[in-house]
């Protein structure tokens, strides 16, 4: 089945089983490998992408459901200076999902509180426990948005 959507700002049409998880379509059909597989069950956040600006677990999202929508992956973000400046990643495996959730949060709420961050990020697991640096990077990014 041909499925058309916008991927990282550009039109994309792929031929895939409509029930294929969006994660596999992104990784195996399109060939963008920044979005990671962790649990496959919406429990870890490693596969987080944006669909029309909403942080979404791509491992449980059928690719057919994104027809005519805007999908953004980690490759579609222009810069992540706070993550680099604060050296957030350890092994790095979870970090694209962390950044996608944090970016969606800041786009909807440029001045998040600790509670807002807890709500937005609690579904993103980090086996390396970089949570303190993730929170610091979100605050740094929010500060930089203030100009």
Q: Is 31 exposed, middle or buried (0-12, 13-18, 19+ CB in 10 A)?
A: exposed
Of 8, 7, 3, the residue nearest 63 (C-alpha) = 3
Helices (DSSP H) in 34-121: which residue ranges? 81-85, 95-108, 114-121
Please identify, using beta-carbon distances, which residue of 8 and 95 lies nearer to ligand FES.
Answer: 95
Least gap, CB of 103 to ligand FES (angstroms)? 16
Please identify, using beta-carbon distances, which residue of 76 and 89 lies nearer to ligand FES.
Answer: 89
Of 21, 70, 65, 68, the residue nearest 47 (C-alpha) = 21
Binding site for ligand FES (CB under 6 A): 37-40, 42-47, 57, 59, 89-95, 126-128, 130
Least gap, CB of 86 to ligand FES (angstroms)? 13
Cα distance between residue 17 and residue 15, in whole Å: 7
Please identify, using beta-carbon distances, which residue of 37 and 139 lies nearer to ligand FES.
Answer: 37
Least gap, CB of 147 to ligand FES (angstroms)? 30
Least gap, CB of 11 to ligand FES (angstroms)? 25
């Amino acid at each position: 089945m041909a499925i058309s959507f916008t991927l990282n700002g550009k039109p994309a049409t792929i031929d895939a089983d409509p029930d294929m998880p969006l994660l596999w379509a992104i990784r195996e059909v399109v060939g963008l490998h920044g979005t990671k597989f962790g649990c496959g069950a919406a429990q870890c956040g490693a596969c987080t992408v944006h669909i029309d600006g909403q942080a979404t677990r791509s491992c449980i999202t059928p690719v057919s459901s994104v027809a005519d929508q805007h999908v953004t992956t980690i490759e579609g973000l222009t810069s992540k200076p706070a993550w680099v400046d604060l050296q957030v990643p350890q092994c790095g495996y979870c970090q694209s999902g962390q950044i996608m959730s944090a970016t969606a949060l800041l786009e909807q709420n440029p001045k998040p509180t600790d509670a807002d961050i807890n709500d937005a990020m609690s579904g993103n697991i980090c086996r390396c426990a970089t949570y303190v640096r993730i929170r610091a990077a979100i605050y740094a990014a929010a500060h930089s948005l203030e100009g």
